[in-house]
Amino acid sequence: MKKKKIAYISVAVVAALVLLTFGAGWFMLDYALKPDEGRRDTTAFYKQMRQEYPWTTPWLDSLKHAGALRDTFITTLDGERHHAIFVRNPRSMGRTAILVHGYKDCSIRMLPIASIYERMGYNILLPDLHAHGLSDGNDIQMGWKDRKDIIRWIYVARGMFRSTKYQPRMVLHGVSMGAATVMNVSGENLPDGICCFVEDCGFTSVWDEFSRQLGDQFHLPDFPVLHVASLLCKLRYGWTFGEASPLSQLGKQHTPMFYIHGTSDDYVPSAMVLPLYNMNPAYENKADKTLRYNDIWLTPGCAHAKSYHDYPYEYERKVRNFVSKHVGM
């Protein structure tokens, strides 16, 4: 009888631990991938942007006054409506910049960087990722499944900005989770005309990033919570934290990529940029078939996603030099 009692207690303890672990994993998944309740408050996003980047206000006001800042929607294969902002540039000569925002941000937050490309004469397309801004969705995809949506936007941009005189030439530029997204895109089969990428403070993988946050915010090790949360993510959303890896995507092909990261970034640690760069340090120059090294810039003292804010002139100069080299003037 005593042995049975001990066995029952042991089973109950194990069951409680399993339930507790799965509960913690479920909480983490919901905590990390639940969209922001204020994601559709465009007024608040514009206000925040103007406060953080006041030098862009005259440019933004001029676009709005001219009716040049437009909205567009597409319907995905899942039947969802996804939103983007776009600006046509009469000086584009077939050149387009697709700019991808970060975690719980939206297209509006990329407008300061969009001003760089507008001055360069580019058409601009700024998508709202799944479950961000005015796009439908109930779960944040951390740039992984988003890569398919951005490829869809590439084709939309080709049609939207079609020119009878010039072939399409594009750059993809992302910040934070948007940087992870464009790196994920770079590993896919893409249409002609994708000339280069700019990734600003992207992470190596969702696993690595969530591991960092689990330790920093909750002081917990990876096992067992992160493992359970990743399994639940697979069951609920069809992907795991480990497979969602910009690092792996970069290894699939050598593409012109500009890597930017703040040295004081403690959200996506600056140490992540080195393995990313080392996975794709060079590309083949089409003219003479030689390998050329990609550009990397570690911005001194910058926190997460603050490189353009802290070094606006240097940021624009370096982006101009890199992109012009690959897309053309």
pLDDT tens, 239-278?
A: 999 999 999 999 998 889 999 999 999 999 999 999 999 9
- Strand 123-127: give its sheet, edge to edge: 70-75, 81-87, 123-127, 95-100, 169-175, 194-200, 257-262, 295-299
Domain end call among 241, 267, 302: 241
Comparing CA positions, the residue from 51, 33, 204, 210 lying closest to residue 104 is 33
Comparing CA positions, the residue from 106, 86, 112 lying closest to residue 43 is 106
16-20, 36-40, 57-61, 296-300: which has the minimum mean pLDDT? Answer: 16-20
Judgement on whether residues 200 and 210 belong to the same structural domain of the protein:
no
Domain end call among 215, 241, 267: 241
DSSP class per residue in 123-164: EEEEEPPTTSTTS--SS--TTTTHHHHHHHHHHHHHHHT--S
Judgement on whether residues 21 and 60 belong to the same structural domain of the protein:
no
Give the model's pLDDT for residue 54. Answer: 97
Judgement on whether residues 123 and 17 belong to the same structural domain of the protein:
no
- Containing 114, the helix (H) or strand (E) segment is helix 111-120
Give the model's pLDDT for residue 78. Answer: 87
- CB-based contact 60:111 (threshold 8 Å): yes
10 burial type by CB count under 10 A (0-12 exposed, 13-18 middle, 19+ buried): exposed
Q: Give the CA count within 13 Å in the CB-facing half-sphere of 19.
A: 6
Q: Answer yes or no: is pLDDT of 108 > 90.
A: yes
The Cα 6–Cα 268 span in angstroms is 47
Q: In total, how many domains does the chain have?
A: 2
> In Å, how far from its chain's centre is CA 189?
18
Q: Answer yes or no: is pLDDT of 46 > 70.
A: yes
Judgement on whether residues 96 and 187 belong to the same structural domain of the protein:
yes
> In Å, how far from its chain's centre is CA 163?
28
Judgement on whether residues 248 and 234 belong to the same structural domain of the protein:
no
Judgement on whether residues 99 and 16 belong to the same structural domain of the protein:
no
Judgement on whether residues 18 and 159 belong to the same structural domain of the protein:
no
Judgement on whether residues 183 and 311 belong to the same structural domain of the protein:
yes
Judgement on whether residues 272 and 151 belong to the same structural domain of the protein:
yes
Inter-CA distances, 168 with 121, 123, 126, 159, 162, Å: 14, 11, 17, 10, 7
Judgement on whether residues 270 and 194 belong to the same structural domain of the protein:
yes
Judgement on whether residues 231 and 262 belong to the same structural domain of the protein:
no
| 293 three-state secondary structure | strand
Judgement on whether residues 23 and 162 belong to the same structural domain of the protein:
no
Give the model's pLDDT for residue 80. Answer: 96
- CB-based contact 201:207 (threshold 8 Å): no
The Cα 295–Cα 322 span in angstroms is 8
The Cα 204–Cα 270 span in angstroms is 11
Q: Answer yes or no: is pLDDT of 6 > 70.
A: no
What is the rounded average pLDDT for all residues in the chain? 94
Name the band, by pLDDT with cuts 50, 70 and 90, for residue 4: low
Looking at residue 127, which CATH number applies to its domain?
3.40.50.1820
Name the band, by pLDDT with cuts 50, 70 and 90, for residue 17: low
> In Å, how far from its chain's centre is CA 114?
15
The Cα 77–Cα 59 span in angstroms is 36
Domain membership of residue 217 as a residue range: 1-33+206-241
Give the model's pLDDT for residue 1. Answer: 58
Give the model's pLDDT for residue 259. Answer: 98
The Cα 175–Cα 181 span in angstroms is 9
Bond before 224 cis per omega within 30 degrees: yes
The Cα 42–Cα 72 span in angstroms is 15
- CB-based contact 200:179 (threshold 8 Å): yes
Give the model's pLDDT for residue 16. Answer: 54
